[in-house]
Amino acid sequence: MSVNTIAGIFGCGLLSLAMAATGFRLERLSVRARIAAMLAAGLAVFVPIGELSVAGYVRGVTGDLSMTTLVLAGAACMAQLIGRALIGPRDRRALLWVVAAGAVFLYPFALGLTHFDPYALGFGSVGFVTTLLLLTLAAWYARLNLIVLVVIAAVPAYLGGAYESRNLWDYLIDPLVSVYALAWLLAGVSRRHLGSIKLAIGHSAGR
């Protein structure tokens, strides 16, 4: 089994663990029960069932996952173990806005709607790398540490060839986290819109 395959399976296994831990709400259990449940879930995810493990089957559907997905999945697992969130609302919101903007920039154009292909920038474009560096510096200055952490995780993984892909985009975002970011932001907009409507109705009723 190649290093690329191991890295990809590990990432998909981490995502599976995060989904299982969040779905079963492990934070309601004692610390020992949480640890035991995570160990059992880890065995269930990584031990082969037939030719592949659950993580392997997930990888067959999702492909290799970006560092953004892995950082969020790892934080979700830790949150369930220690009983509190590791990522603050401000950091999460900023990261998901950046992911959503990147997805809107990348995927529609990559489908061939225009002659411009932003995916090609990930093959070592100086402009793309410079933009990423400036974004990281701006995030560091604004103390948006989650964005900085994702870039710090993605760039060495890219340079070290953790995955078979040699495109930096694939280490930064993937369709799964892109859909999650867009859905999360749209849900937030909907909640604010409904809140405004309820507030307006309350004011009208109070007159």
Task: Decide: 11 and 64 in contact? Cβ < 8 Å.
Answer: yes
What is the 3-state secondary structure of 141-179? HCCCHHHHHHHHHHHHHHHCCCCCCCCCHHHHCCHHHHH
Place of tokens 């560096």: 133
Distances (CA, A) of 127 to 35, 102, 120, 168: 45, 15, 12, 13
Q: What does the alpha-carbon distance between residue 53 and residue 161 come to, in Å, rounded to a whole number? A: 23
User: Among the residues of the chain, which ranges form H helices?
Assistant: 3-24, 31-46, 54-62, 67-82, 89-108, 126-141, 145-159, 169-172, 175-206
One pLDDT digit (tens) per residue for the chain, 207 residues: 788 888 999 999 999 999 988 888 777 788 888 889 889 998 999 988 888 899 999 999 999 999 999 999 999 999 988 888 899 999 999 999 999 999 999 988 777 666 788 999 999 899 999 999 999 999 999 999 999 999 999 999 999 999 999 999 999 999 999 999 999 988 877 676 555 565 555 555 555
- Which residues lie below 8 Å from residue 197, measured CB to CB, with a gap of 6+? none
Please give the model's pTM, rounded to 2 decimal places: 0.88
